[in-house]
Chain A
Amino acid sequence: MGDVQVTKRQIILPKHFWKVAILLSLLLLVTIAASFIFGSRTISMAGLMDGLFHPDVTSHEASVIRQRIVRTIFSLLCGAALGVAGALMQAVTRNPIADPSILGVNTGASLFVVCGIAFFNISTANEYIWLAIAGAFITAIFVFTIGSLGASGATPLKLVLAGAATSAILSSLVTAIMIPRTNVMDEFRFWQVGSVGSGSWDNILLFLPFLIVGIVIALLTAPALNALALGDEVATGLGVNTVTIRLFAAVGAVLLCGAATALAGPIGFIGLLATHVVRLVIGPDIRFILPLSALTGAIILTIADVCGRLLGSPGELEVGILTAFIGAPILILITMKAKMRAL
């Protein structure tokens, strides 16, 4: 007795945490630089410096850079929000392929926004955000209820099917509402594809409170979510109120992905990709998955945006299209590999 020692590294810190954190930080810097420099118009070093450090220079290059700074910050924040939302949803459903887009939550947010545009003449981001969050929340509850029906409860497969079916119904509703209304279509089309090009300081300020509240909720629920990962019965035995924790964490996820969806449009697969990659490398401790998933989500979304700008040049390819192109095949890979094993 007494000769067994347990260290902080064994219990708390996942094996590769610091290595991964440093690598991701470097990647983040590279991503930011790429996002400043590349686009339909590549910026020279002098232009970059002007835009960054000399607010009095009003050259075209400098103003392009200033616009790109806003866009980059917006995209990083959206990506982080989606990364955390994905990690939360996976923990709440104990399902490795939960993601706001796969569970239909983004489509629910879209439907509410379209209804707002079509029937209530809503056109400001301020109003979008609440509609999108309401839509996301209702859809999340709906999909989870449908997916939990039957004897075995909410299995990964049932949840995904419920999400896909719900998503199909909701998107046909979205189309049905839009088609006869050309004005709505114009306003909605760009939003619907998903783009971070609409980023502005106003949008960032509007988005920040939701991001902060969502992340605080995520951090507060993380230890209990770790217990929940061992099954509802073990979690109950450890003193977790499983219903309250699920609800609380789901509210956090919905706030994050609802707000991101409202401002940038439905961008899919970020949460799934980010969380999956992070879990693969550092293991199942949700307290570490959350921050790294935020970082990874921010990087993936921003890189996707830069790629979209380069591929679509002289115009640009919306980032939602790109994430779907990268995300869908990876989703198939994950499901095949994971044998749909519940977390």
Chain B
Amino acid sequence: MKDTHTLEAVGLTAGYDNKTILQNVNLSIPANKISIIIGANGCGKSTLLKTMSRLMKPTSGQALLDGKSIHTMPPKKLARVLGLLPQSPIVPEGITVADLVGRGRFPHQTLLKGWSKQDYEAVAEALDMMNIAEFADRSIDELSGGQRQRVWIAMALAQQTDILFLDEPTTYLDITYQIEILDLLMELNEKHGTTIVMVLHDINLSARYAHHLFAVKNGQLVAEGAPSDIVNEQLIEDIFSLKCRVMNDPVSNTPLILPIGKFHQ
């Protein structure tokens, strides 16, 4: 099982140029659970994820891992605890699956020490978990969208971090692959206790897969908690300006939202 860490945002404020996007956010990521950040486009959920994972510097406030600011920690040391899969990584032309997944071992390697036994084992385990071992020698260019996303997640898994951030890991994937990816992440969480934090657009899937939801609006945290405790018609209208009905998802016993539009009331 993965180690338990505390990861908190304290007065976290961040933005681009002079525009503040995230305002004074205080939160604590539940350890060994799946947390999902939801909110409308441009509400700051991606900025929150990026600032909590060191991709962006806060203008004020701090992101603290075990009480220490992640922005002043040695980067490689942080990368052994906190992994990250951004929204649009770049695929080098002609790279093989094994090579790409192997690059996830970077933070565990030093210049003098080459590839160790642990490195190979970590890569094999990641390939196995994402069911892509059979593609190991194939070029990424030959794979489908869902397979590619599994390769990227395998790269992040090879990093063997206790915490994993993912920015919209299911975007551009059809529904089958979305479920497949989310199932794999849930399995990862249940088997290894990996703390997972991700941004998702789909509220219903978020409600199914999250242990803990963070609802963001205008750069501020407006609600957090277990999906069945916080997802209601009022919250959805508040963060998305969308009227809806909420019922019980008969498959998963979690809240299911049914949007109300001009023609469907």
Contacts and interface: CB of A to CB of B under 8 A. Distances in A.
B115 A12 contact: yes
Looking at chain B, what size class is its interface with the partner chain?
A: 35 or more
Given A6-B124, A240-B106, A11 B93 contact: no
B111 A6 contact: no
Contacts of A240: 75, 106
Query: Which of A10, A227, A239 has the largest count of B CB atoms less than 10 A from its CB?
Result: A239
Contacts of A241: 75
Looking at chain A, what size class is its interface with the partner chain?
A: 35 or more
Contacts of B90: 94, 229-231, 234, 342-343
Interface stretch (B19-27, B94-102, B217-225): B94-102
Nearest to B128: A4
Contacts of A342: 90
Contacts of B80: 239
A341 B90 CA distance: 11
B85 A237 contact: yes
A238 interface: yes
A116 interface: no
A283 interface: yes
Given A10-B96, A236-B75, A238-B103, A231 B128 contact: no
A288 to B, nearest CB: 11
A237 B84 CA distance: 5
A229 B106 CA distance: 13
A96 B92 CA distance: 10
A238 B104 contact: yes
Given A230-B103, A237-B85, A343-B93, A4 B133 contact: yes
A238 B102 CA distance: 12
Contacts of B133: 4
Contacts of A237: 53-55, 79, 83-86, 156, 159, 165
B123 A283 contact: no
B99 A233 contact: no
A11 B106 contact: no
A301 interface: no
Contacts of B83: 237
B107 interface: yes
Given A4-B128, A6-B127, A11 B86 contact: no
5 contacts: A5-B120, A231-B89, A233-B89, A234-B89, A279-B94
Interface of A: 1-8, 10-12, 94, 96, 220, 223-224, 226-227, 229-231, 233-234, 236-241, 279, 283-285, 341-343
